[in-house]
Structure 1
Amino acid sequence: MPFPDEKFSSGVVVSDYDPTWPGEFERLSHRIADLLGPLALTVDHVGSTSVPGLPAKDCIDIQVRVAAVEHDRIVPLMAAQGYRCRPEPWNRTEVTAGVACPKLVFAPPPGARACNVHIRLHDGPNTRYALLFRDFLRADERARNGWGAFKQRVAQSLPDLMDYGQIKAPATEVLMSGAERWAEQTGWQLPSAHRR
């Protein structure tokens, strides 16, 4: 859930793709990599803002792949620069492919550019899921256009973030079944983690 100062606390808006998003990710990713140092194996641009041409909420999703989700080490490093650990249970553990995956999610400092920083195991199923989502939608124009139109219609009908998420979650599973078929057909594999 957004903190009260975050822009989506008042409702969801899905905007047309903004070509400045990749550059904004780059700036944020360098800042996060510097904060976490050697704990950050790879910093990935994930989520809808990572897919050229895809409408999205104006919030950059950043995935940091780590060897271990070490709460006691990561939270103080992020907090020292104003990043706030999201407290909800689903921001601490997510179930992907039947596996409970540890994670941490951080909100930006108050007044900073809207983003979510997802800390995940470098080879976890949830890490793979985020990257497969991105790469499939980058590769498949029909799926990308359909997904973008669906999200815009849902946001117009249900601007409350919780309602929006409740409708989007099962539809994402349908989308990802197509992504899995695409991965099998193309031989797509999880990109390896590498230190920046």
Structure 2
Amino acid sequence: MPFPDEVAPVEVVPHRAAWATRFARLAVELGGALGPLALAIDHVGSTSVPGLAAKDCVDLQIRVAGPPQPASLVPPLTALGYRLRPEPWNRSETANGATHPKLVFAPPVGAAERCNVHVRAHGGPNARFALLFRDYLLADAAARDAWGAFKIRLAGSVRDLTDYGQIKAPATAVLMGAAERWAATTGWRES
């Protein structure tokens, strides 16, 4: 659920080159706050794929050693104004049939630019999932274009973020089935 200051109808827009710049700026800020806790900071989600329509909300993935620990991650991120999302689905997620811990942070109140900061275990299946999603859509223009068209149509008829996410979830599973086949065929490995 979005925090009250984030509530707005879902809008999917054409890709913006500024998303890469926003990611780079946020990665420097977050990396500086977390220091060696951040093993990698990845631009993930639809905004990481040039040419893909997306909500104007940059998704970052911070990979950490082992399961994300609130005691070590919350203080440096809240010092920057980031807010830990409290919902159960922002504390764990399913990948490859198993549940894996994660933490998700919202941007500071009043931030001019929206983002979601996902913290996952380095080498974990859910971190792999985010990287595979990105890399598959970077490699397959037809899949990228179809995914973007689907999201535009969905956002045109479903304006509530929770409903949008629930409807998109089964379609994401279908997309990721194709991504897994692509990964097996090409020998893709997360970096």
Calculate the TM-score normalised by the size of structure 1.
0.95
Shift of 1:91: 0.5
Deviation digits for residues 108-141 of structure 1 (CA, Å, limit 9, x no counterpart): 0011120000000001100000000000000000
Map of 2:115 onto structure 1: 115
Which runs of 4 or more aligned residues in structure 1 lie more than 2 Å from their structure 2 counterparts after TM superposition?
none
By how many angstroms is 1:10 displaced? 1.9
Listed as ranges, the gaps of 5+ residues in structure 2 are: none
Aligned to 1:15: 13
Separation in 2, partners of 1:21, 1:156: 22
User: Matched residues in 2 for 1:70 and 1:161: separation?
Assistant: 27
- For residues 78-117 of structure 1, the aligned pairs below 5 Å read 78-112=77-111, 113-117=113-117
Give the whole-Å Cα distance in 1 for the aligned partners of 2:8 and 2:57. Answer: 14
Bigger Cα displacement from structure 2, 97-106 vs 46-55: 97-106
Deviations 1:40-98 (A, max 9, x none): 00000000000000000000000000003111110111111110000000100111111
Q: Aligned partner of 1:43: which letter? A: I
**1: CA distance, partners of 2:58 / 2:78:** 19
Structure 1 partner of 2:159? 159
5+ long unaligned stretches in structure 1: 192-196
TM-score (norm 2): 0.98
**One-letter amino acid of the counterpart of residue 20, structure 2:** P
Give the secondary structure class of the aligned counterpart of 1:10. Answer: coil
Alignment size in residue pairs: 189
Q: 1:194: which partner in 2?
A: none
1:129 alignment counterpart = 129
Please state whether the residue corresponding to 2:52 is helix, strand or coil. coil
The equivalent residue for 1:77 is 76
Cα RMSD, aligned residues only: 0.6
Report the CA distance between 1:190 and its aligned residue: 1.3
Partners of 1:81 and 1:165 in 2: how far apart? 28
